[in-house]
Amino acid sequence: MNTQVVKPLLLMSILFACLSTSFTLQAAGLPPYVDGQPVPSLAPMLERAMPAVVNISTSTNIQVGDNPLMQDPFFRQFFNVPEQMNRQQKNSLGSGVIIDSSQGLVLTNNHVIDKADKILVTLHDGRQLNAELIGTDPESDVAIIRVHGNNLTQLPIADSSQLKVGDFVAAIGSPFGLSQTVTSGIISALGRSGLGIEKYENFIQTDASINPGNSGGALVNLRGELIGMNTAILAPTGGNVGIGFAIPTNMIMTIKESLVKHGEVKRGLLGVTTQDLTPELVNAFNLENKHGAAISRIESNSPAAKAGLEPGDIIVAANGKPVKNSQDINNIVGLLQVGDKVNIEFFRGNEKKEVDAVIGKPEQAQMAGEKLHPLLKGTVLGVTQKDQVEGVVLGKIHTSSYAWRLGLRPGDVIVSANRYRVRNLEELKQVVDPEDALLINIQRGQEGFFVVLR
């Protein structure tokens, strides 16, 4: 027999024998101590933590038609086409973490439950519970839902400011729908920002394997405490390359308080536009300090203007937290509420100064939907942001409202009403008759469709 073939076979036989011996030992019960020392294992910690991590499945009904013209009710009426549209159901999977067992509060990502008509939570013990939406914050990708059930297990919350690069961590979730999956690794970096994933970024980076379906799951320390919520991965090749990101608990819990109380995060306004310091700016301003956020614009009559800040000032700290770049000041201010005080440390030239500012209310026109049309009761209408198509945005919709049952969702943008183009609330008011049916053209992401309220 060819020896080049025998040797690999022999090695495989030896390896199989060793593995068989190993399996036999495990089957017989591997002792908890070897040479008087305990065998390291995450099992005891995971036994406590895993019951608090749940699987989340959602379903969303989407109206579709064979021809886009069929979405126009006037077209369907002219050709005597039935009103009933074809409906498709869109399903998605993700994870969640029980953070308050007494209240049934479950933490997850906004993108896991975004625009869902039904949210189903599957517990560690196999129970399936319907969940209700408590609040979402798309700008940080945090959402809170509630389930009603007995004997729920919650995870203890750790102080994420105490984390260090190199700390061991475990990620628990449902990648690809495989519930109760655990991967382990370390914290690779802290305070990751500028990734363009969310508006407010302060991510924990980890090499613990995170995949689709892990979103909303738990990142825990070796004590089984929640330190972050798994949210995204960097996948240049389309697969996991060991670069995952989690939202830290300190940021989550600040947002959670506002979501439970208001159903949304009511962010305040400082009134500054900043940019990162570059070597060119450091030289141009003749600065000794090379880290901070340079103020490029001050809104008139804003809290920043009233506090005496000026364009060219370099913010280096806010409320005692260091500011290394624009994202840092964005994150700090983004977690503050209207009326909160913020202490700003900054350099004007090479002179260090300090001021206090009171966070103000953003000047954004809003109105209750019922003031425009009775069938819009339970909605809140506002104006779109600069990076959105011009129109009137549905900022909030009560789940018991007619608008919700009709299929409208928060974030939908009204771009026309009764066949008139509308760009703001004033234009919308001019073309709406509260006593007549209302035809609106909705823009949702890259999709557009018509809805009739009658």
Catalytically active residues, by annotation: 111, 141, 215
Q: What are phi and psi of 47, to 5 degrees?
A: -60, -30
For residues 439, 441, 442, 448, the Cα torsion angle rounded to the nearest 10 degrees is: 140
Residues ≥6 apart with Cβ < 8 Å to 454: 375, 437, 438
Structural tokens at position 151: 């004997």
CA distance 195 to 201: 8
CA distance 284 to 307: 25
Could you tell me the sign of the dihedral formed by the alpha carbons of 397, 400, 403, 408, in that order? Answer: positive
Look at residues 56, 46, 172, 176 and name the one whose alpha carbon lies nearest to residue 122. Answer: 56
Angle at 45 between CA 41 and CA 49, to 5 degrees: 140
Cβ burial 23-62 (10 Å sphere, 16+ → b, else e): eeeeeeeeeeeeeeeeeeeeeebbeebbbbbbbbbbebeb
Residue 333 is classified by DSSP as H
CA distance 301 to 313: 17
Beta bridge partners of 94: 56
Which conformational region is residue 123 in: left (phi greater than 0), alpha (psi within -120 to 50 degrees), or beta?
Answer: beta
Rg of the Cα atoms in the chain: 27
Structural tokens at position 45: 């910690």
CA distance 155 to 98: 6
| Pair 346, 309: CB distance under 8 Å | yes
Residue 401 is classified by DSSP as S
Q: Residue 189's Cα: distance from chain center in Å?
A: 19
CA distance 51 to 48: 7
Beta bridge partners of 60: 90
| Pair 272, 292: CB distance under 8 Å | no
CA distance 238 to 234: 9
